[in-house]
Amino acid sequence: MKKISKVVSLLGLLFILISGTIDLDDLFNYESQNIPSYITKDNTPESNQINNQITTLGRVLFYDKNLSENNTVACASCHQQAFAFSDPLVSSVGLNEGTTGRHSMRLVNSRFSNEEKFFWDERAASLEDQVTQPIKDHLEMGFSGTNGDPDFNDLITKLSAIEYYQTLFEFAYGNTTINEDKIQRALAQFVRSIQSFDSKFDVGLSEQPNLNAPFSNFTPQENLGKQLFLNPPPNGGAGCAGCHAPPEFDIDPNTLNNGVIGVIGSTTDIDLTNTRSPSLRDLVNPDGSLNGPLMHDGSMTSLLQVIDHYNNIPNNSANTNLDNRLQRPGNQTQQLNLTSNQKNALVDFLKTLTGSAIYTNEIWSDPFDDQGNISIVGDQLSSNEFIFDKSIAVFPNPVTTDLTIQIETGSYRVTIYSLLGNMMIDKEISGTKRMNLQSLAKGVYILKIQDLDSNNFFNKKFIKH
Ligand code: HEC
Ligand code: HEC
């Protein structure tokens, strides 16, 4: 008895502390953000256009630690808004102190690229394919189904028992069923919604549509850097645009590696597979400091180091996958012979690609409060309460032995979950039913009744004495 009153007061406390709020009547605008007319690349599939309802669900999923096996890691743990959705650490910390084998990638303008594959080594065929892979990674979020981990179906069961997901999936997709496809679509929409087009470069380009002409808002150094970035090496340029083409600064889908072949934590291993880069926008914060170390191995900690690398590509015979744009006849590698003034100009130019809104705009911010709670409000929600259009009574609560579900004749599926998302009871009923719950341990449970004719759900929390 004492134990139970503790649980009840804890729930009460949680309720009072709720301040993270999603207002379903006043969604953020993700679907018609302003995209400059000079931006033409777009990897959004026809079947997953951004929509405010689904992207709102994606935002909650992105920040939800419930997506990890032990509730400690969210996507946002390794993709932090304050760092352009990357991580200042070389190697991100996942579950149980495990760390990632490559550096986390900025998620800025992921949508605006010709390249449709994702990850440094392009192993995900699409963004939709990518977004659930961290969840299934033993070290990242732990629903791998290997090494004694639960699998993705266990995650679906867990999320299905969380009330705000019943609401949000219903709101986004018209029914409460959760599956991998819906999670993928929502997370991919949220990632694609993260866009940054308010940089000094964008101001310059909107005033001077000719990329090759000097921008009037640029310093002479920034204009020099822009020329060096755009022009290929035979004409005295640095050839960056050949692989990171403006104005998106996405990666050429056909590039091989760029001569950075290190492996985090090793001085001898090499990795030749990294042929993708995130957009070169927002490499630095508005305050000019890097958003995180650069390259797949996080081996570069300044922009000057990057320029020095391209100025003098290491000649390593073990690198059999070096892009031929960085090679020269006679087994030589690229030597640009840039002056230190030219190097600084390139650095200054790269800094003009930083925007400001992505670092602070609430539309991409954490929707949970400090205690990890979220509340969903809005009339859309109260209308949801009537979706279960059968009259129903569930009593008593708390229950000691028998729980009665009083409901008109029909066909229903009754499931009872523990608060941790384990399914305890699963049966079909056809009308009023008295269920013996003596075998359930004391605690708080979630009762879910699905009307099998309409697919509507009824949810109720109850306490077992
Ligand atoms: C433990 C840290 C960690 C977590 C958690 C994590 N990521 Fe990542 N993410 C990374 C790392 C590291 C990479 C690069 C890995 C690689 O290429 O091998 C990456 C790459 C990506 C990419 C590819 C970007 C590109 O331009 O190719 C996307 C998209 C992404 N993550 C989204 C997500 C989403 C969505 C989640 C949550 C479901 C998530 N990440 C969870 C660390 C993490
Ligand atoms: C042959 C194609 C190619 C050329 C030319 C090229 N790059 Fe890259 N760049 C890449 C690839 C591939 C990566 C990802 C490499 C990795 O992490 O292993 C990359 C990564 C980067 C990164 C790190 C991005 C991040 O998020 O960590 C920066 C910065 C960069 N390049 C700047 C430049 C500049 C500046 C130039 C011109 C001097 C240039 N690149 C020329 C292909 C190229």
Write the pLDDT tens digit of every residue in 79-127: 999 999 999 999 999 997 889 999 999 999 999 999 999 999 999 999 9
442 touches 4 (CB < 8 A): yes
Mutate to test the pocket of ligand 1, among 60, 78, 283 (most ligand atoms within 8 A of CB): 78
Q: What amino acid is encoded at 100 in this protein? A: T
Q: What is the pLDDT of residues 157-208, one digit of tens each?
A: 999 999 899 999 999 998 889 999 999 999 999 999 999 999 999 999 999 9
* Confidence (pLDDT) at 455: 76
CA dihedral over 152, 180, 277, 256, signed as positive or negative: positive
168 touches 27 (CB < 8 A): no
402 touches 145 (CB < 8 A): no
**Measured in angstroms, how far is the CA atom of residue 170 from the centroid of ligand 2?**
42
* Confidence (pLDDT) at 97: 80
Of 434, 427, 385, the residue nearest 406 (C-alpha): 434
* Confidence (pLDDT) at 89: 97
Query: Residue of the nearest CA to atom 13 in ligand 2?
Result: 277
Mutate to test the pocket of ligand 2, among 258, 285, 327 (most ligand atoms within 8 A of CB): 258
* Confidence (pLDDT) at 387: 62
**Measured in angstroms, how far is the CA atom of residue 78 from the centroid of ligand 1?**
7
Query: Which ligand lies nearest to the CA atom of residue 345 in the structure?
Result: 2
Q: What amino acid is encoded at 256 in this protein? A: L
Query: Which ligand lies nearest to the CA atom of residue 140 in the structure?
Result: 1
Query: Residue of the nearest CA to atom 14 in ligand 1?
Result: 104
327 touches 316 (CB < 8 A): no
**Measured in angstroms, how far is the CA atom of residue 148 from the centroid of ligand 2?**
39
Burial class of residue 127 in the structure, from the number of CB atoms within 10 Å of its CB (0-12 exposed, 13-18 middle, 19+ buried) = buried
Say which residues have a Cβ less than 8 Å from residue 379's Cβ, sequence separation at least 6: 24, 25
Query: Which ligand lies nearest to the CA atom of residue 334 in the structure?
Result: 2
**Measured in angstroms, how far is the CA atom of residue 259 from the centroid of ligand 2?**
9
The atom number, within ligand 1, closest to the CA of 274 reads: 17
**Measured in angstroms, how far is the CA atom of residue 137 from the centroid of ligand 2?**
27
* Confidence (pLDDT) at 13: 43
* Confidence (pLDDT) at 12: 42
> Residues lining ligand 1, judged by CB closer than 6 Å?
62, 67, 73, 75, 77-79, 92, 94, 100, 102, 104-105, 107, 110, 118-121, 127, 130-131, 134-135, 140-141, 187, 191, 276, 278
CA dihedral over 49, 54, 56, 59, signed as positive or negative: negative
Query: Which ligand lies nearest to the CA atom of residue 275 in the structure?
Result: 2
Tokens representing 200? Answer: 């000094």
Angle at 158 between CA 155 and CA 162, to 5 degrees: 135
Of 252, 256, 269, the residue nearest 318 (C-alpha): 269
For ligand 2, whether the C-beta of 319 sits within 6 Å is no
**Measured in angstroms, how far is the CA atom of residue 112 from the centroid of ligand 1?**
17
**Measured in angstroms, how far is the CA atom of residue 118 from the centroid of ligand 1?**
9
Q: What amino acid is encoded at 170 in this protein? A: E
* Confidence (pLDDT) at 462: 83
Burial class of residue 186 in the structure, from the number of CB atoms within 10 Å of its CB (0-12 exposed, 13-18 middle, 19+ buried) = buried
459 touches 166 (CB < 8 A): yes
Q: In angstroms, rounded to a whole number, what is the distance separating the alpha carbons of residues 323 and 255?
A: 6
* Confidence (pLDDT) at 381: 54
Whole-Å CA distances, 283 to 4, 301, 358, 397, 444? 52, 11, 12, 55, 47
* Confidence (pLDDT) at 453: 87
Tokens representing 411? Answer: 């066909």
Query: Which ligand lies nearest to the CA atom of residue 87 in the structure?
Result: 1
Say which residues have a Cβ less than 8 Å from residue 83's Cβ, sequence separation at least 6: 106, 285, 291, 292
Residue 110's CB is within 10 A of a number of other CB atoms, namely 23
Angle at 272 between CA 267 and CA 276, to 5 degrees: 115
Of 215, 274, 221, 273, the residue nearest 246 (C-alpha): 215
The atom number, within ligand 1, closest to the CA of 94 reads: 1
**Chain centroid to CA 197: how far?**
19
Low-confidence ranges of the chain (pLDDT < 70): 1-19, 379-387, 419-421
* Confidence (pLDDT) at 349: 98
Tokens representing 455? Answer: 């697919």
Whole-Å CA distances, 457 to 6, 176, 213, 324, 393? 29, 7, 61, 58, 14
**Measured in angstroms, how far is the CA atom of residue 306 from the centroid of ligand 2?**
8
**Measured in angstroms, how far is the CA atom of residue 291 from the centroid of ligand 2?**
16
Query: Which ligand lies nearest to the CA atom of residue 254 in the structure?
Result: 2
